[in-house]
């Protein structure tokens, strides 16, 4: 069950010639693939392109009608390997995955693909999320394109440009027999707009038709001596062919006056930010018309020396807008100028910060600083003086608390870490590795469990150095998504092969939850197009793990605690695996809440749990919060002057998972939590019974009030 359904929006993918498409960038990319005769599509979900995979899955019926093969690949490496279909056959293929981490996982297949070259257009749509919206290490995909000689496109972030880039990417790939990376940033994926559509094209050769006439070309196999020839082909044939195509088709764009004393070179994805900064300085209008010459690199690799030098001719200074580091584009342009002995001063990093996202204010400050140095006459008088103060920006760090990511309310992964914390309280601190996924939040307060993460599915592998027969066994966490992505072979298989005496806890929440709730092999729901319901416990037993425990309700903190303690104290040697399983609460609520609300609206009886804290019983030591961290569990100050400390309080965001009470019982805390049942649309008997109970409670409360001593002031 994906985070978002695109069933309704997919209808727009059927629009024909001359009609107008309106929607998000991810839908526009899918439409562009269909219009350009793609033969097969694959990928691995991951922000910011998770929704692109969801769109493709929802459009599977339409793609089948056109003879297009769609595959939700097991990993980025599997997706990249899929592009092998374009090596021997003139079939256009496209895959998609998250930026730097996806490229890292897929690097082996991508490098081989770039070496052998392609006949059909091969497009890798990379969801680049460098900057403050990223959930990964801060790296770029650019250096991989340079290393393996993929051509890299970075279109302007509007729908017509993105759609055009898809078609240009396929044609560039075919013209140069080289795979192409199409980089779409977070804002590109989710920008909304419109463009004129074309008719969807059936691929001239489908993969099914290709199967009937298999092709082989020994020269395309990446083995010596062919691999040496491939390198020469890149330099002598593919690269010049790409440069000719880019120049002839005008893929890079120029805006503003043809001549000027200064100019700005920018990545296509930075166009909106640059124009907005110029608008704030009065140097551009609302339609993008600019007084400063712009050279927009919709293709950031390879760069064209002749095209750049012709544009830079006659200019005194040029600013390079390149987000991220190292400054690959700036270094290449500087080399062009040096070799041509051009007397143009190049500005870039230094005016811009070396690292960090180019927000609106960063862009404005850098463009202003450049123009102050190189062309102060272009600036309004108020902006010409150095160190001119900009608009006052409040220091929000003084008033807004830092909010690191955390588990959702009712998340079934929270009790797993509470149980681990209880075990560590008894047995002492353990060496614990983490993994990519929601469970990585366990490394943050209040749990602080998990010291390092090395990659998706590599949590147990990153603990391999610690299997030294010490006093305490090393512990690793891995999610179900990471388990099927890479963990079964690289982590669990590694443990079995090396007879590692360690514990791995597989956090099974039934979905690839961190990427949007997509189904995986172990998902419990039946799928019409995918094979699910394959137990993780069965898989690990199948590769040789004999000590396996399955816990099917993670909210049972006491059972989890005892199971983890058993794994860490048993004299039995060898790898141990605990599969801790409960459905992701976010996905469960997405599925059940609409049904519950509908039933209530129809007048049907619905009973729902509601949890609370008895204020008279709560001791106020807040141990329950340190073992839970649930967003719905907070503090409440009482009116009682004899109780200064606030007590625990469950707010209305509670989803009724019961974790707080389970923790209180397992940790032997104060018994202050209670469960009530809220009945919607009760029957007549329930209404009468509730009325009697209310009258009895009222009578008892009034009697108690009459007996209470009054210490109020007397006359």
Distance (Å, whole) CA 706 – CA 693: 20
SS (H, E, C) 386-406: CCCCCCCCCCHHHCCCCCCCC
Beta strand residue intervals within 446-530, DSSP E: 475-479, 503-508
Please report the pLDDT score of residue 130 as a whole number: 83
Q: Write the CATH number of the domain with boundaries 252-387.
A: 3.40.50.920
C-alpha span between 482 and 44 (Å, rounded): 12
Alpha-carbon distances, residue 251 vs 161, 239, 257, 518 (angstroms) = 10, 15, 19, 36
pLDDT per position as a tens digit, 272-321: 999 999 999 999 998 889 999 999 999 999 999 999 999 999 999 999 99
Cβ count within 10 A of residue 691: 10
645 or 69, which is more confident?
69
- Cα separations in angstroms, 440 against 423, 501, 544, 578, 584: 19, 23, 27, 17, 15
Q: Distance between CA atoms of 583 and 523, rounded to whole angstroms?
A: 9
pLDDT digits (tens, 9 = 90+) for 440-491: 999 988 899 987 888 889 999 999 999 866 779 999 999 999 999 999 999 9
- Own/partner long-range contacts of 440-445 (Cβ < 8 Å, ≥24 apart): 441/404, 441/405, 441/406, 441/407, 441/413, 442/413, 442/416, 442/417, 442/477, 444/404, 444/405, 444/406, 445/629
- Name the CATH architecture for the domain at 7-248: 3-Layer(aba) Sandwich (3.40)
**Amino acid 2: pLDDT:** 62
Choice among 72-86, 148-162, 692-706 with the minimum mean pLDDT: 692-706
Phi, psi of 423, rounded to the nearest 5 degrees: -65, -45
- The boundaries of every CATH 3.40.50.970 domain in the chain are 7-248, 414-584
Rounded to 5°, the CA angle 675-676-677 comes to 130
End-to-end CA distance of the chain: 70
Determine the average pLDDT of the residues in 62-70.
94
Q: Tell me what the mean pLDDT of segment 175-180 comes to.
A: 98
In 3-state terms, the chain is what percent helix, strand and coil (to 5)?
40, 15, 40
Structurally, what CATH architecture does the domain formed by 605-706 represent? 2-Layer Sandwich (3.30)
Count of beta carbons in the 10 Å neighbourhood of residue 437: 26
Q: Where are the CATH 3.40.50.920 domain residues in the chain?
A: 252-387
DSSP, collapsed to helix, strand or coil, labels residue 613 as strand
Going by C-alpha positions, the residue among 610, 608, 612, 598 that lies closest to residue 682 is 608
Mean pLDDT of the chain: 91
How much is the pTM?
A: 0.89
Q: What architecture is domain 414-584?
A: 3-Layer(aba) Sandwich (3.40)
SS (H, E, C) 284-326: ECCCCCECCCEEEECEEECCCHHHHHHHHCCCCEEEEECCCCC
**Strands (DSSP E) along 455-519, which ranges?**
475-479, 503-508
Contacts of 185 (CB under 8 A, 6+ apart): 48, 127, 128, 129, 130, 157, 269
Find residue 384's DSSP bridge partners: none
Task: Provide the β-strand partners of residue 547.
Answer: 576
Q: What is the pLDDT of residue 452?
A: 84
The pair of structure tokens assigned to 474 is 């090393």
Nearest to 505 by CA among 454, 570, 448, 432: 432
Query: What does the pLDDT look like over 194-245, one tens digit per residue?
Result: 999 999 999 999 999 999 999 988 888 898 999 999 999 999 999 999 999 9
All CATH 3.30.70 domain ranges in the chain, comma separated: 605-706
Q: How confident is the model at residue 389 (pLDDT cuts 50, 70, 90)?
A: low
CA distances from 322 to 49, 284, 311, 316, 567 (A): 22, 20, 18, 20, 51
Digit-coded pLDDT (tens) for 664-707? 888 888 888 998 888 999 999 989 998 999 999 899 888 888 87
């Amino acid at each position: 069950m994906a985070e978002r359904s695109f069933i309704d929006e997919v209808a727009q993918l059927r629009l024909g010639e001359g009609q107008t498409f309106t929607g998000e960038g991810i839908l526009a990319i899918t439409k562009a693939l269909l219009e350009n005769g793609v033969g097969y599509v694959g990928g691995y979900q991951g922000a910011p392109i998770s929704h692109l995979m969801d769109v493709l899955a929802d459009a599977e019926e339409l793609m089948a009608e056109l003879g297009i093969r769609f595959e939700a690949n097991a990993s980025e490496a599997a997706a990249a390997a899929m592009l092998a279909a374009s090596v021997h056959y003139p079939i256009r293929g496209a895959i998609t995955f998250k930026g730097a981490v996806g490229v890292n996982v897929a690097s082996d297949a991508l490098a081989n693909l770039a070496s052998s070259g392609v006949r059909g257009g091969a497009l890798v749509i990379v969801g680049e999320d460098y900057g403050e919206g990223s959930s990964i290490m801060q790296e770029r995909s650019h250096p991989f394109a340079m290393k393996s000689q993929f051509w890299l496109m970075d279109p302007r972030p509007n729908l017509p440009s993105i759609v055009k880039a898809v078609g240009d990417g396929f044609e560039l790939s075919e013209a140069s027999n080289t795979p192409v990376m199409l980089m779409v940033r977070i804002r590109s994926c989710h920008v909304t707009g419109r463009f004129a559509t074309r008719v969807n094209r059936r691929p001239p050769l489908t993969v099914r038709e290709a199967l009937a006439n298999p092709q082989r070309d020994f020269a395309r196999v990446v083995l010596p001596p062919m691999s040496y020839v491939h390198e020469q082909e890149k330099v002598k044939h593919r690269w010049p062919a790409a440069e000719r195509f880019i120049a002839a088709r005008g893929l890079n764009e120029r805006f503003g006056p043809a001549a000027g004393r200064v100019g700005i070179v920018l990545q296509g994805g930075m166009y909106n930010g640059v124009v907005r900064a110029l608008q704030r300085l009065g140097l551009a209008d609302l339609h993008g018309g600019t007084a400063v010459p712009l050279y927009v690199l919709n293709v950031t690799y390879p760069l064209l020396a002749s095209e750049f030098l012709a544009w830079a001719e006659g200019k005194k200074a040029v600013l390079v807008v390149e987000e991220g580091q190292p400054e690959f584009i700036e270094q290449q342009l500087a080399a062009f100028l040096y070799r041509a002995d051009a007397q143009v001063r190049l500005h870039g990093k230094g005016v811009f910060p070396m690292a960090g996202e180019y927000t609106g204010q960063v862009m404005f400050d850098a463009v202003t600083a450049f123009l102050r140095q190189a062309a102060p006459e272009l600036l309004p008088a108020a902006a010409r003086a150095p160190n001119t103060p900009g608009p006052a920006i409040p220091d929000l760090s003084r008033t807004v608390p830092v909010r690191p990511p955390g588990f959702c309310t009712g998340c079934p992964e929270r009790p797993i870490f509470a149980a681990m914390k209880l075990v560590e309280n008894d047995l002492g601190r353990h060496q614990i590795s983490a993994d990519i996924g929601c469970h990585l939040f366990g490394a943050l307060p209040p749990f602080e469990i998990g010291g390092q993460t090395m990659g998706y599915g590599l949590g147990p592998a990153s603990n391999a150095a610690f299997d030294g027969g010490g006093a305490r066994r090393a512990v690793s966490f891995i999610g179900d998504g990471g388990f099927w992505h890479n963990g079964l072979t690289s982590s669990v298989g590694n443990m079995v092969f090396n007879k590692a005496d360690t514990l791995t806890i597989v956090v099974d929440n039934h979905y690839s939850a961190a990427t949007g709730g997509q189904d995986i092999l172990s998902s419990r729901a039946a799928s019409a197009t995918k094979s699910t319901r394959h137990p993780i416990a069965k898989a690990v037993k199948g590769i040789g793990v004999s000590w396996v425990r399955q816990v099917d309700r993670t909210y049972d903190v006491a059972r989890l605690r005892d199971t983890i303690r058993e794994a860490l104290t048993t004299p039995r040697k060898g790898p141990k695996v605990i599969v801790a399983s409960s459905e992701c609460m976010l996905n469960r609520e997405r599925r059940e809440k609409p049904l519950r609300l509908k039933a209530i609206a129809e007048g049907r009886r619905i009973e729902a749990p509601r949890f609370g804290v008895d204020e008279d019983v709560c001791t106020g030591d807040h141990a329950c919060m340190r073992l839970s961290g649930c967003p719905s569990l907070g503090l409440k100050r009482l009116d009682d002057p004899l109780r200064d400390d606030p007590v625990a309080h469950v707010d209305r965001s509670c989803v009724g998972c019961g974790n707080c009470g389970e923790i209180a019982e397992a940790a032997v805390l104060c018994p202050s939590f209670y469960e009530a049942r809220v009945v919607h649309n009760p029957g007549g008997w329930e209404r009468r019974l509730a009325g009697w109970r209310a009258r009895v409670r009222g009578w008892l409360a009034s009697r108690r009030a009459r007996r209470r001593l009054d210490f109020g002031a007397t006359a």
